[in-house]
Amino acid sequence: MLYMKDKKGGRKGFLFFLLILLASAALAYFAIQLYEEHLNHEFIYDNIFIDGKHMGGLTRKQASEKLESEWQAKKEQVQIRLYAGEQEWIFDHEDINLKSNHEELVMKAYAIGRGRGIIDRIKEIYELNDNPVHFSTEITYNTDIIRNKLEQAAEELEQEPVDASISFNPDASDPEKMFVISEEKPGRKLHTGPVMEEIENNLSQGNFNFSLELKFEEIKPGVYARDFEGKTEKLVTFGTDLSKSAPDRTHNVIKAAMEFNGLVLQPGEILSFNGLVGERTAEKGYRAAPMIVADKSLRDAIGGGVSQTSTTLYNAAIRAGLEVVEFQRHSFPVAYIEKGLDTTVNLPAPPIDLKIKNNKNSPVYFRTFYADQKIYFEIYGEPLPNGRTIRIRTEEYASVPPPAPEVRIDREGRYVTYTDQKYVHVAPRNGYKVKVYREYLEGDKMVETELLDDHYYRPIAGIIYVGVKKRP
């Protein structure tokens, strides 16, 4: 059976289909218009900001140019100035390798609303109305160049403190110029750590234009000129007579004494006579002169007489208040000094030394000179407290006669030939007991006494040679 459509119903279906078709076309048209207007263009969408600046409506190129222009202007303003006095060091954006990621942010801004699906894109674009997107540029920098330059500047500008010093010129023609004091100078040190920390703090807060003064720590010297005040006074001048000495002996005494001229003895330091003068030899210029030898006789030897130098030094030292830590008396008293005040020295064997310690808290200075047939030692330094002076006193409290002399037969005829001839090789000498005191005075009043030595010069029997032949 054939079915026949109603003509009126077919017309209605056709009209409905046509209406659907037209609606679809219109929707497609509007979709295309929407795409063209809002999706298919080269502009950054509205409500997108970089560093608070609206990027909407700008192409990538326009946004980049705008930000780059501002970035260049900002870089030109970079100036980090370090200064110390009249010196300065200035760093610009190149020195800190200043960089910004604004180009990267432009690409991120442009990418918003340009996802894969149209629906997602439209949704993302319309969400910008209620939720604007804000980007902030990140700025990077490197302060290595500043750090290196700062360390170099610190090395160049830092100064070690200079202690005050004193030069001793014992032979100065003007006594006022015998001691010349050089003033101290403070040092300075730059601690680069705090400076770099302050620089980093400024940069991290976006401050790229600032000045910093380099402040140095003052380093104090260890010795000041005032430390020498009152410590270069003359403490003593002591001399012994050479008027009865032969020229060669006088030469030896003076030569050894001149080794001490200009000597500075530091606090606690010990002066060794032999250590300074050394062995007395002909190669050093010493000459033969009488010297006491083992059998107590006098015999010419190289360096004879130098014990008078040590004696003069010893007496100056005890009068200056110094400590004598090692000494030895002669076998018998000598003509040029009181009993108990002589010293002897010898090298190489047996070694006999004179050692003096500076027991003061400041240096002592030695000057030696020869004048009016006397050898002199002068000592300079810090005077005793309370205006004290020193007086040396000796006390001879016993005299011991010598035993009978030793008589030797001169079989070789070195000194005498005949039995009625005698030769005194060593003269008999009394023995003596002597005390040596150091007395401290304040004005005319003695306030302290110190026993320096209680010495016994043993008596010397003497040696006499007699001949062995009878006279014809």
pLDDT tens per residue, range 172-199:
989 889 999 999 999 999 999 999 999 9
Three-state DSSP class for residue 106 = helix
In this predicted structure, the answer to whether residue 268 has a pLDDT above a threshold of 90 is: yes
* Average pLDDT of the segment spanning 155-167: 94
436: left (phi over 0), alpha (psi -120 to 50) or beta: beta
Give 83-89's long-range contacts (Cβ < 8 A, gap of 24+): 83/211, 83/212, 83/213, 83/214, 84/153, 84/157, 84/213, 84/214, 84/216, 87/153, 87/157, 89/149, 89/150, 89/153
Q: Using alpha carbons, list the distances in angstroms from residue 405 to 199, 334, 400, 458, 459.
A: 97, 20, 14, 14, 11
Structure tokens at 286: 């010493």
Q: Which domains does the chain have, with CATH numbers?
A: 33-140 (no CATH), 144-227 (no CATH), 231-383 (no CATH), 385-472 (2.20.230)
Residue-level pLDDT at 17: 62
Q: Where are the beta strands (DSSP E) in 242-363?
A: 264-265, 270-272, 288-292, 298-302, 323-326, 355-357
What's the rounded Cα separation, in Å, for the pair 361 and 231? 10
What band does 1 get if pLDDT is binned at 50, 70 and 90? very low
HSE (side-chain half, CA atoms, 13 Å) at 458:
6
Does the predicted model carry a pTM greater than 0.85? no
In this predicted structure, the answer to whether residue 3 has a pLDDT above a threshold of 50 is: no
* Average pLDDT of the segment spanning 202-217: 94
Residue-level pLDDT at 90: 96
What band does 29 get if pLDDT is binned at 50, 70 and 90? very low
What's the rounded Cα separation, in Å, for the pair 277 and 25? 126
